Amino acid sequence: MDFKFLRELLIPAETKIVLIIMDGLGGLPLEPGGKTELETARTPNLDALAAQATLGLTVPLAPGITVESGPGHLGIFGYDPMQYRIGRGVLEAVGIEFDLRPNDVAARGNFCALDANGLVSDRRAGRIPTDASKGLAKLLTMQIEDVEFFVEVVKEHRLAVILRGADLGAELSGSDPLKNGKPPQTVRARDAASEKTARVANQFIARARAALAGKMPANMILLRGFDCYPNLPPLPEIFGLRAAAIALHPTYRGIAKLVGMHVLPVQGNTFADEFATLEKNWADYDFFYLHIKDTDLAGEDGDFARKVRIIEQVDALLPRVLALQPDVIIVSGDHSTPAKLKAHSWHPVPTLLYAADARAEGIAEYGERACARGGLGVLPAKDVMPLALGHAHRLEKFSA
Amino acid sequence: MDFKFLRELLIPAETKIVLIIMDGLGGLPLEPGGKTELETARTPNLDALAAQATLGLTVPLAPGITVESGPGHLGIFGYDPMQYRIGRGVLEAVGIEFDLRPNDVAARGNFCALDANGLVSDRRAGRIPTDASKGLAKLLTMQIEDVEFFVEVVKEHRLAVILRGADLGAELSGSDPLKNGKPPQTVRARDAASEKTARVANQFIARARAALAGKMPANMILLRGFDCYPNLPPLPEIFGLRAAAIALHPTYRGIAKLVGMHVLPVQGNTFADEFATLEKNWADYDFFYLHIKDTDLAGEDGDFARKVRIIEQVDALLPRVLALQPDVIIVSGDHSTPAKLKAHSWHPVPTLLYAADARAEGIAEYGERACARGGLGVLPAKDVMPLALGHAHRLEKFSA
């Protein structure tokens, strides 16, 4: 969708849209002929809503392509993930709630071990404990020229490294050789605007090596995935919505903030607390994104039964959303994470769109195969937001 | 579809295609769990044809977007309605069968009322009766520099204003303030080529104001939607078809003419007369577009039962088409107009494609939910014409 085209059709409305994303929702049967996690789950509330909804399968980016959470969420938020990107470094930074600023450059970092010949002997520094990692990170806070370096521990050896200064381009190759037994690489600028960044990054790496000498299991740092603040067109402007995000996991709060949503504080750390946050803020926004992380974690762990249980817990909370009488409810995922595969996958995501004026198929089941029979068909995830706006009567008729 | 690509694949053939468009065909149930207009209608002939056809749902422009008849028809005629546009003024002009020429500029006009302060007090001049409107329009036929002004009444206060002269660009803002209580705006050129048009349009408006002084309820004219003749690539060339249009309503004859179809005269004003026109001209064309307006009018009126009856009347006439043994029959709509909404809507349109070599799903029902299960899936309306050509054996195999 051309955002400019869409923006010209926006009309003011009082309608409210709720987008419930169960991360990695799509699944697979463990055995041929079996049921997926979602099909196995007892979901009376979702099934009843499905009967009044139109169903489909969303493709996060393109057929056959498996996505990370970043592009998966951009798609479901209406952005073409091929065109709009959030770099790995930026995702790591927002994922720890680092207050990234528009001119910052961020990289994914690893503490690693170098052998006596200067070759990488362990890219993950023995998965050094987070506390030890934090101690080492303190040694690396520094300034080179006018550029401040922030080294923040994500978990164990994983770091977010943020560069803050003037005139920093982000078109850079990484220093991480991506396998053991090779030396760290020199960071190289891919355009003239990034030459300063390359220069200070290489100086930073040299000084880090000196500071970490003898600090095994980690005596070096590797950087990759340099990127700048993405400057995405703000979702509230594109779609004319006062948009709020409800998520327990920092990465998703971060992505929501990058697209311009207002990230609501959640009191507590349960799904029920997320739904309570929705209720509490109901009057103040037109659009709510509510994120459930644990479906994805269970899928990654290969824990089919746990993923089923989490879906059932979400189903049990659905009546609290229905009681608010949203005009449009979408239930979907950002990608599939079948427990069978213990990983994200390319499979399209079961998607339910409820609205008073949805053309319901009367399929009283929310599941992968039920959605394959639905009237939305198989559609790009980025089409979901315009469909939500249409069903919310927020778009005027296009004439010419 | 890239027209140049398609044109290189065209092969001569004797096959015939009939495209039956029931305007605003797609609908909604009045009550949750109920049937749509098309599902309610008793349509034994369409149902039997559906069993031998492939079914799908067409998206006129993009998911969630509601379209007017102009873009809706461009889509079903194979043109991307995002790329090809027919301006409002041009649609009004062709809708009254004004003989618009390639260098003309057309605008939508309104008779309106100005108060003593020169502010618009009624943009529709009290919906002045058509006859009175025609009397006033006569006062406004004039020439400024070399430009002739034609002021034609569409209905009540609605006018088509056509400018005919040399070097007239059409990139212009309108004079209509679009709400009461504001003064008429000066027409402004958006490019250098339109400066002359802006100059003569503003002079026309000033002279119109003088000519209409004291002629309440209409003492002024407002202009908007300036556009020139669209110069669409002709459908007969793109698709290699001798194409004829059968429509009772002038707007659709106009759109058909703009895409280069031969518009057939219809003797009489009933659906049966339209089908008789098809029979009479059967030998002379490869492609027939047959348009039924009344489904849309019933939908706009919120008259579910009347829309059902009209669909049943069309169904009863279908055997006359079958008797001609067309190679391909498409039944569809240009958009949805659910009686429930009393308006055009964004919902995809039930579409049936019959051909001897269609891969029939054996679904013996023509309706929204039946089409949602069909083998065409959910597809852009602009893909229907290439599908028709394929099924008509009018495209050769593409190698490289």
For the stretch B219-271, pLDDT in tens is 999 999 899 988 899 999 999 999 999 999 888 999 999 999 999 999 999 99
Q: How far is A214 from chain B, CA to nearest CA, in Å?
A: 60
Detail the DSSP E strand segments found in chain A.
Answer: 17-22, 53-59, 105-114, 120-122, 142-144, 147-155, 158-164, 220-228, 243-246, 262-263, 287-292, 328-332, 349-355, 377-380
Residue B235 shares a structural domain with residue B367: yes
Closest CA to B123 of B67, B179, B163, B54: B179
Which chain A residue has its CA at the smallest distance from B36's CA?
A359
CATH number of the domain encompassing residue B166: 3.30.70
Q: Are residues B288 and B300 in the same domain?
A: yes
Set of chain B residues whose Cβ sits within 8 Å of the Cβ of A378: 377-378
List Cβ neighbours of B4 (8 Å cut-off, separation of 6 or more). Answer: none
Contact B137, B204 (CB under 8 A): no
Contacts of B342 in chain A (CB under 8 A): none
Which of B63, B71, B338 is the closest to A387 by Cβ? Answer: B63
Q: Note the pLDDT of residue B45.
A: 98
Banded model confidence at residue A95, pLDDT cuts 50, 70, 90:
confident
With a CB cutoff of 8 Å and minimum separation 6, the contacts of A342 are A299, A300, A301, A302
- B398 belongs to a structural domain: no
Structure tokens, B143:
């020439």
Question: What is d(CA B290, CA B261) in angstroms, rounded to the nearest whole number?
Answer: 12
Read off the pLDDT band of B153 (50, 70, 90). very high
The answer to whether A377 and A345 have CB atoms below 8 angstroms apart is: no
Asked whether the predicted pLDDT for residue B289 surpasses 80, the reply is yes
- State how far the Cα of B18 lies from the Cα of B353, in Å rounded to an integer: 10
| CA A275 from centroid of its chain's CA atoms | 20
Say whether both B241 and B380 belong to one domain: yes
- Residue B163 in any domain: the answer is yes
How high is the pLDDT of residue B91?
87
A31 at interface of B, judged by CB pairs closer than 8 A: no
Domain boundary among B228, B255, B273: B228
Is residue B164 in some structural domain? Answer: yes
Burial class (CB in 10 A: 0-12, 13-18, 19+), A332: buried
Q: Do A383 and B64 touch (CB under 8 A)?
A: yes
> How many angstroms separate the CA atoms of B237 and B253, rounded?
19
Residues B63 and B81: their CA atoms lie apart, in Å, by 13
Residue keyed to tokens 């008793």: B42
pLDDT at B1 over 80: no
| CATH code where residue B235 lies | 3.40.720.10
| HEC-encoded secondary structure of B234-277 | CHHHHHCCCEEEEECCHHHHHHHHHCCCEECCCCCCCHHHHHHH
Q: What is the pLDDT of residue B353?
A: 98
Is there a single domain that holds both residue B161 and residue B252? no
Query: What integer pLDDT is reported at residue A399 of this predicted model?
Result: 84
Same domain, yes or no: B76 and B94: no
Q: Do A156 and A300 lie in a common domain?
A: no
Q: Which of A5, A327, A385, A397 has the highest number of chain B CBs within 10 A, making it the mutation to test binding with B?
A: A397
A14 three-class SS: coil
Dump pLDDT digits (tens) for A201-240. Answer: 999 999 999 999 999 999 999 999 999 988 899 999 999 9
Question: What radius of gyration do chain B's Cα atoms show?
Answer: 23
Q: Which two tokens stand for residue B172?
A: 């212009």
Question: What H or E segment, with its residue span, contains residue A364?
Answer: none
**Domain end marker among B204, B228, B252:** B228
Burial (Cβ within 10 Å: 0-12, 13-18, ≥19) of residue B16? buried
Q: Which residues form the domain of A161? A: 90-228
pLDDT for A1 beyond 80: no
Cβ–Cβ of A398/B345 closer than 8 Å? no
Report how many Cβ contacts below 8 Å link chain A to chain B: 95
CB-based contact, A382 to chain B, within 8 Å: no
Is B238 part of any domain? yes
User: B399 lies in a domain?
Assistant: no
B70 in the same domain as B162? no
Comparing A112-116, A117-121, A181-185, B226-230, the range with the smallest average pLDDT is: B226-230
Contact in structure between A355 and A25 (CB atoms under 8 Å): no
Give per-residue pLDDT as tens, A349-361. Answer: 999 999 999 999 9
Residue B396 included in any domain:
no
Our CA-based measurement puts residue A375 at a distance from the nearest CA of chain B, in whole angstroms, of: 5
A395 at interface of B, judged by CB pairs closer than 8 A: yes
Residues B200 and B268 in one domain: no
Whether A172 and A244 map to the same domain: the answer is no
Return the exposure string of A51-86: e unless at least 16 CB atoms fall within 10 Å of the residue's CB, then b.
Answer: bbbbbbbbbbbeeeebbbbbbbbbbbbbbbbeebeb
Q: How many domains does chain B have?
A: 2
A373·B377 Cβ contact <8 A: no
Which residue do the tokens 């004859």 mark?
Answer: B253
Contact A133, A157 (CB under 8 A): yes
Element holding A356 (H helix, E strand): none
pLDDT at B97: 86
Residues B195 and B79 in one domain: no
User: Over 80: is that where the pLDDT of B279 sits?
Assistant: yes
pLDDT at B267: 97
Whether A378 is covered by a domain: the verdict is: yes
Per residue in B72-131, pLDDT tens? 999 999 999 999 998 888 988 988 889 899 899 999 999 999 999 999 999 999 999 999
Q: Give A386's contacts in chain B (Cβ within 8 Å).
A: 62-65
Residue-level pLDDT at B324: 98
Residues pairing with B172 in the sheet: B189
The pLDDT of residue B400 is 75
B225 contacts A400? CB cut-off 8 A: yes
Domain stops at, among B209, B228, B247: B228
Residue B87 CA: distances (Å) to CA of A399, B90, B160: 8, 5, 12
Q: How far apart, in Å, are the Cα atoms of B158 and each of B130, B151, B209? A: 9, 10, 17
What are A280-314's pLDDT values in tens digits?
Answer: 999 999 999 999 999 999 999 999 999 999 999 99
Question: CA-to-CA distance for B127 and B296, rounded, in angstroms?
Answer: 23
Can you tell me the distance from the alpha carbon of A357 to that of A355, in angstroms, rounded to the nearest whole number? 5
- Give domain status of residue B14, yes or no: yes
Are B139 and B218 contacting, i.e. CB atoms less than 8 angstroms apart? no
Residues of chain A with C-beta less than 8 angstroms from the C-beta of B347: 359
pLDDT tens, position by position, A244-276:
999 998 889 999 999 999 999 999 999 999 999
Judge if A41 and A128 occupy the same domain.
no
Predicted-complex ipTM score: 0.89
By DSSP bridging, strand A158-164 and strand A120-122 are unpaired
A153 exposure class (CB count in 10 Å sphere: 0-12, 13-18, 19+):
buried
Average pLDDT over chain A reads 96
A5 contacts B64? CB cut-off 8 A = no
Could you tell me if B182 and B239 lie in one domain? no
φ, ψ for residue B342, nearest 5 deg: 50, 35
| Pick from B63, B87, B345: CB nearest A383 | B63
Q: By the CB < 8 Å criterion, does A10 face chain B?
A: no
- Are B63 and A379 inside 8 Å of each other by CB? yes
